[in-house]
Amino acid sequence: MMNETLKARVRERLQALDKTPRAASVDAGLHPDTIRNVLRERSRKPRADSLAKMARALECSVDWLMDAQAAPGPAEPAQPLGLWEVADAPPTRTEMPRDVPVLGTAAGSARGAFQVDMAAIDFVRRPPGIGTSRDVYALYVVGSSMSPRFEEGELIYVSERRPARVGDYVVVQTVAPDDGSVQAYCKRLARRTDDALFLDQLNPAAEIRLPMREVRAVHRILTLNELFGL
């Protein structure tokens, strides 16, 4: 019964918010297939932390998602959580320090990897969710190879330390075999083997293979929820 309630209420919130299961999963900072697996009963008992993230992305409470004793008829979700759950007012834009370094632009095509500049070319605002993180940098996306997930000119925040899992959007730094220069790609992590890293490109759809001997680092792109401390 609990699982049927969960599925029904997830569907209700997806429809109300006009979101796809994949989009809601990404907004929640979860694997892109998490909510779809719940709806297909491939995940019958989501973990508590996953449920909390789902509830935030669906703008409802965990209790409402799981409440099998709700009265019959159209259910009203709990008060939306919004972006802030603390008593203090959120910081204004000008109160966010401009100290996150921009290290370059993220390439928009499989061939167009950019050269990483370890000296900051600019500094941008620090959202409250990463207020104490000193391992974060920013990039501007160029090109359209990751559209519609990342559009040209969009600013992305990247963590050097948070682990990247299959399905996460990442910036992969590589070392060019000819001159040793550091380049980077903005893609989605598809899978890893001992010998290679496989990345998904969205537009046009393609899989890119990078030899592990050339991979210098795999850094995860932070979600909106992480940037604002949700």
Q: Is the pLDDT of residue 108 over 60?
A: no
Cβ count within 10 A of residue 92: 7
At 111 the three-state DSSP class reads coil
% residues pLDDT > 90 (the chain):
16
Q: Which residue has the higher pLDDT, 182 or 39?
A: 39
Predicted local confidence at residue 113, as pLDDT = 62
Who contacts 217 (Cβ-Cβ below 8 Å, separation ≥6)?
Answer: 160, 172, 173
42-66 pLDDT tens trace = 765 677 777 878 888 888 887 777 7
C-alpha closest to that of 145 among 218, 104, 200, 189: 200
Q: What is the pLDDT of residue 121?
A: 81
Structure tokens at 72: 């019959």
Half-sphere exposure of 55 (CA within 13 A, CB side): 21
pLDDT > 60? residue 126: yes
How many helices and strands in the chain, by DSSP H and E? Answer: 6, 10
Confidence of residue 118 (pLDDT cuts 50, 70, 90): low
Cα–Cα distance for residue pair 188/202, rounded to 1 Å: 8
Q: What domains sit in the chain, N to C, each tagged with a CATH number?
A: 2-66 (1.10.260.40), 93-227 (2.10.109.10)
- State the pLDDT at residue 73: 41
Taking 90 as the threshold, does the pLDDT of residue 218 lie above it?
yes
